[in-house]
Amino acid sequence: MDLIERHRRFWKCEPVDKPLIGESREGKFFLQPFVDLGLKDGPLLIQDIPSPSAFLPYYQQSLAGEPLDGDIFWTAKPPRAIPWMEAIIGCKVKATLQSNCMTASTPDHQTDLAVINVLNNPWARLMSEFTDILRNQFGRETPIGQTLMRGPSDMLAALLGQHFFTLLLDDPKTLHQLAKQCTRIWIDTLTAQFELTPRFQSGYVAGIMGLWTPGRVAVYQEDAVGQISTAMYKEFFLECDAEIANAFEYSLIHLHSSALQMLPAVLGIVNLSAVNVVVDTIGPTLETLLPVFHSIQEAGKALHVHGDFSQNDIATLQKELSPNGLCIWIVREEENENAQR
């Protein structure tokens, strides 16, 4: 069975003799290119970001050599360090070199989300410029894919700050409206990227996760809902996540092992294809999480689990879980910290 067929079977949870296993090299391409190109600590305006063409030597270096990380494809995508979705909706962006990250925060004046059009939004256009230059430079031999795009709850948590939590109780009507607007912007942004993304071996690759799919795929995360109740998730964001899953042929939602209270509701999203669970270094042990992983597989969803796994951890996952619809992604702790920012 060739690798593409194994990836296809992952999404369908069809029989295979072993799971997909890979180790990420993402940590080698995060904030350093920005630093080398003159990025400074502090507020970051879009005009401070060098032209996408200036990043090409870093892409060439990271794409050199083996195109696979184990069973996982290494994908060219717009820089993950930029908080793209938060910037698109008007959040302020700040670079913190000591922490090796960029963060988003509440703007001085809230944007009217209803008028945002990703076709003329400066940050969305910059994302498209990156995708376009990557397509032209590498698209014949390398998969081009989606960058990190945080979901509606994360977008609103950054946009509203602490006001996000007060609106849940004090003005649910407004929060519903804002959540729907963020969902539309999210879908429109990824749709625009797919208009520029070439097919790879007759399909696409989920950029961050490196998973080949026969059709267009959405990868999204809702870290902020880990700080609210399951009832609030169902009221405000479950419909948003379902709408994203419905908008694309395949979908994967990213969750954290330390905040899985909304998982039963998530598993009820009919068109959701897969669930990614980050095994956090602080939180339930891998052994404690095994029943959770079983519940995901029993719900008919593919399971993508990632963490700083030892060989014993990998052996445990292979022994205790079905290989059908299972991907084990090894992400070393330093990189995992960057991925969660």
- Report whether 292 contacts 280 (CB < 8 A): no
Average pLDDT over residues 118-127: 98
* Higher-confidence position of 64 and 54: 54
Per the CB < 8 A criterion, the answer to whether 39 and 46 are in contact is no
**pLDDT greater than 80 at residue 204:** yes
User: How much is the average pLDDT of 76-84?
Assistant: 95
Rounded CA Rg of the chain: 19
Q: What is the mean pLDDT of residues 312-331?
A: 97
Average pLDDT over residues 153-163: 96
pLDDT, position 218 = 98
Q: What is the reported pLDDT for 66?
A: 74
Q: Express each pLDDT in 23-55 by its tens digit.
A: 887 654 578 899 899 989 999 999 999 999 999
N-to-C CA span, the chain = 37
* DSSP of 199-268: PBTTBEEETTTTEEESS-EEEEE-GGGGGS-HHHHHHHTHHHHHHHHHHSSEEEEEEETT--TTHHHHTT
* Mean pLDDT, residues 281-304 taken together: 96
State the DSSP code for 62: H
pLDDT one-digit tens code per residue, 236-257? 999 999 999 999 999 999 999 9
pLDDT at position 27: 56
Q: What is the pLDDT of residue 24?
A: 82
Residue 193 has pLDDT above 70, yes or no: yes
pLDDT for 268 equals 98
Burial readout 169-201 (b: 16 or more C-beta within 10 A, e: otherwise)? eeeeeebbebbbbbbbbbbbbbebbbebbeebe
Does the pLDDT of residue 205 top 50, yes or no?
A: yes
Q: What's the pLDDT score for residue 333?
A: 67
DSSP-derived pairing of the beta strands 211-213 and 204-206: antiparallel
Gap between the Cα atoms of 227 and 160, Å rounded = 15
Average pLDDT of the chain, as a whole number: 93
Share of the chain above pLDDT 90, in %: 85
At residue 277, the 3 state secondary structure works out as strand
Structure tokens at 328: 């084990």
> Would you place residue 332 in the very low, low, confident or very high pLDDT band (cuts 50, 70, 90)?
confident
SS (H, E, C) 140-198: CCCCECCCCCECHHHHHHHHHCCHHHHHHHHCHHHHHHHHHHHHHHHHHHHHHHHCCCC
Over 70: is that where the pLDDT of 338 sits? no
Q: Across residues 319-339, what is the average pLDDT?
A: 80
Q: What tokens does 276 get?
A: 């990614």
Closest CA to 131 of 85, 76, 89, 84: 76
Average pLDDT over residues 61-86: 90
pLDDT value at position 157?
97
Considering the domain 3-339, what is its CATH architecture? Alpha-Beta Barrel (3.20)
**Parallel, antiparallel, or unpaired for β 92-96 and 101-105?**
antiparallel
**pLDDT (average), residues 107-124:** 95
Query: How much of the chain, in percent, has pLDDT values that exceed 70?
Result: 96
Element (H, E) at 101: strand 101-105
Res 69: pLDDT: 87
Helix (H, G, I), strand (E, B) or coil at 123: helix
Taking the model in full, what pTM does it have? 0.95
Residue range 126-154: mean pLDDT, rounded:
96
CB 82 within 8 A of CB 29: no
pLDDT band of residue 336 (cuts 50, 70, 90) is very low
- What angle do the packed helices 172-194 and 122-138 form, to 10 degrees? 30
What CA–CA distances, in Å, run from 266 to 159, 254, 263?
Answer: 24, 11, 5
